[in-house]
Amino acid sequence: MISQPHQYPTSYKPWSHLKTDDPEVYSHIEAELHRQRYSLEMIASENFVCQSILAGAGNPLTNKYAEGLPHKRYYGGCEHIDAIESLAISRACSLFSCHYANVQPHSGASANNAVFLALLQPGDRILGLDLSHGGHLTHGSPVNISGMYFQAHCYGVDPQTELLDYDIIRERAKEVQPQLIIAGASAYPRVMDFAAFANIAKEVGAYLLVDMAHIAGLVAAGLHPSPLPHAHVTTTTTHKTLRGPRGGMILWNDNSLSAKLNKGVFPGTQGGPLEHIIAMKATCFHLAHREEFQTLQQKTIKNAQAFATTLKEHGCHLVTGGTDNHLILLNLLHSNLTNHKDSNQVTGKDLEAALDQVHITTNKNTVPGEKRSPFVTSGVRFGSPALTSRGLLTQDFKLIAKWVAQILESLQNQKTHDTEPPCFASIRKQVKELCSKYPLYPEW
């Protein structure tokens, strides 16, 4: 028997006034909420914030201009804004055990831009992880300002182990003589050794920037070594594993960098801060001190590992062979699950689209040694944070991994593209049942 979708009561929602004031936007928001409820969110950079942060982000602080820093503003009437931003700063410093924080960056990319402006001159050399090996666009890609205004160079992972090799990085650093080394990734499933990065930076006289956007929640929970004792500057997003509102932040310990970094944010690269979001960053840091947060982050890693193990049991090849954190990178170049000699070459784009058909949301991703374009790719990235926040258990992650392997195998065996492979319908039905079992924002 098919269970009925969970019946959501229609209690007060923060966006309910739009129903009369702007029904068009209201209906799109409702449709998006429905999509989130009835799909399995496995994009590694996404999460579901708790209801208090979601609702709390719609607050009157959005009305206020507060250019400057607490107690040093260009506008009057900032006493409550000052109290909230000061609280966010002190909570950020306490959570990550550091001396200084700027909580104003609108996003991870904005945080990085502020750091570049603060520490570099146009034309300086930067050294970051190759995009196709798991790096980020803001670490020197030619289509990003970091690759346009600076001479960007990259290091890669070891082609055999697919792990960072600090001897290779040291060699690259000696060749390039960068002013700034960037450690951090958006698709690297293993622990990073920030002390090793710091030693290399010291040897070549470069600043070390650690961008911990993906792993900040794990760091806050003590489940990944912290970069703060090692990096000159650390940037992060607040909305990935950290599970706060969408935004960025800069952290550091050396007071001689404070003026430069603060000016790098404002007036360097941003205008007025989003104080309504900064309030929710403060709440996020408060919640991250709790034991429940620690448990959530532990489960996030455990679920990612169970997902990885199940994929491997079904014959899938994972970049680095598994995961230490919240993300899994499936390598399609080596994952042939069929016995047919003439099986199809499935790309990241194909698998992402097929998973979308059964409402499992992922993203295609380049893999080390990538030969295809970033629009096609030979990998798919999965992450456990969102579904772990939603309450799914390890057994559920194993089930989803089994479905992913079934879908991949059916794509590899598919003879014609006119009809959908037979397993899709039954998986789609089971996805819907699993979603109903774990209602998202049930009060709404």
Ligand X SMILES: *Cc1c(COP(=O)(O)O)cnc(C)c1O
- Catalytically annotated residue among 125, 246, 312, 349: 246
CA-to-CA distance for 133 and 319, rounded, in angstroms?
10
3-class secondary structure, 277 = helix
Asked if 324 touches ligand X (CB under 6 A), the answer is: no
Q: Tell me if 130 contacts ligand X by CB under 6 A.
A: no
Type of residue found at 260: K
To ligand X, the closest distance from the beta carbon of 57 in angstroms equals 15
Q: Does 211 bind ligand X (CB under 6 A)?
A: yes
At residue 235, what are phi and psi to the nearest 5 degrees? Answer: -115, 160
Q: What DSSP letter does each residue of 15-74 carry, written as one string?
A: TTTHHHH-HHHHHHHHHHHHHHHTSEE--TT-----HHHHHHTSSGGGG----EETTEES
Q: Are 232 and 252 in contact (CB under 8 A)?
A: yes
Is 370 tagged catalytic?
Answer: no
How many other C-beta atoms are found inside a 10 Å radius of the C-beta of residue 169? 22
Query: Which pair of tokens denotes residue 341?
Result: 């000699």
Contact between 136 and ligand X by CB under 6 A: the answer reads yes
Token pair in block for residue 84: 């909230």
Does residue 133 belong to the site contacting ligand X (CB under 6 A)? no
AA identity, residue 419: T
Distance CA 247, CA 111 (A): 9
Kind plus residue range of the DSSP H or E element containing 430: helix 423-437
Nearer to ligand X, 212 or 316 (CB): 212
134 binds ligand X (CB under 6 A): no
Task: Examine the residue annotation and report whether 324 is marked as an active-site residue of this protein.
Answer: no
Instruction: Provide the β-strand partners of residue 360.
Output: 40
Is residue 422 within 8 Å of 416, Cβ to Cβ? no
Cα distances from 409 to residues 350, 403, 404, 423, 440, in angstroms, run 12, 10, 9, 10, 31
Q: How many residues bind ligand X (CB under 6 A)?
A: 14
245 binds ligand X (CB under 6 A): no
Q: Is 302 a catalytic residue?
A: no
**366 catalytically annotated:** no
- When the beta carbons of 214 and 364 are compared against ligand X, the nearer one is 214
Region 373-432 residues binding ligand X, contact defined as CB under 6 A = none
Question: Which of 213, 242, 249, 386 contacts ligand X by CB under 6 A?
Answer: 213
Extract the tokens encoding 180. Answer: 């700034």
Is position 237 an interface residue for ligand X (rule: CB under 6 A)? yes
Among residue numbers 32 through 71, which ones bind ligand X (CB under 6 A)? Answer: 45
Residue 384 contacts residue 290 (beta carbons within 8 Å): no
Catalytic residue chosen out of the listed positions 130, 162, 211, 350: 211
- Sheet of strand 327-331: strand arrangement: 327-331, 379-383, 363-365
**Residue numbers 247-266 binding ligand X by CB under 6 A:** 248
Nearest by Cα to 116 from 147, 154, 153, 155: 147
Q: Closer CB to ligand X, residue 212 or residue 427?
A: 212
Pick between residue 185 and residue 431 the one whose CB is nearest to ligand X: 185
Query: Which residue is catalytic, options 138, 237, 283, 320?
Result: 237
- 189 near ligand X, rule: CB under 6 A: no
Q: Would you say 95 or 111 has its CB closer to ligand X?
A: 111
The smaller minimum CB distance to ligand X, of residues 136 and 281, is found at 136
Measured from the CB atom, the residue of 244 and 348 that comes closer to ligand X is: 244
Catalytic residue among 65, 149, 166, 438: 65
Sole window of 101-109, 289-297, 337-345, 359-367 interacting with ligand X (rule: CB under 6 A): 101-109
Q: Is 186 in the site for ligand X (CB under 6 A)?
A: yes
Q: How far is the CB of 116 from ligand X (least distance, A)?
A: 12
Please report how close the Cβ of residue 108 comes to ligand X at its closest, in angstroms. 2
Do 206 and 181 touch, CB atoms closer than 8 A? yes
Query: Is-catalytic flag, 432?
Result: no
Catalytic status, residue 437: no
- Taking the complex as a whole, the smallest distance from the CB of residue 287 to ligand X amounts, in Å, to 20
Stretch that binds ligand X, among 73-81, 178-186, 346-354, 377-385 (CB under 6 A): 178-186
Is 214 a binding residue for ligand X by CB under 6 A? The answer is yes
> Least Å distance between CB 106 and ligand X?
8
Non-local (6+) Cβ contacts of 260 within 8 A are 118, 119
Q: How far is CA 93 from the centre of its chain?
A: 21
Interface residues with ligand X (CB under 6 A) are 45, 107-109, 136, 138, 184-186, 211, 213-214, 237, 248
Tell me the catalytic residues.
Answer: 65, 67, 211, 237, 240, 246
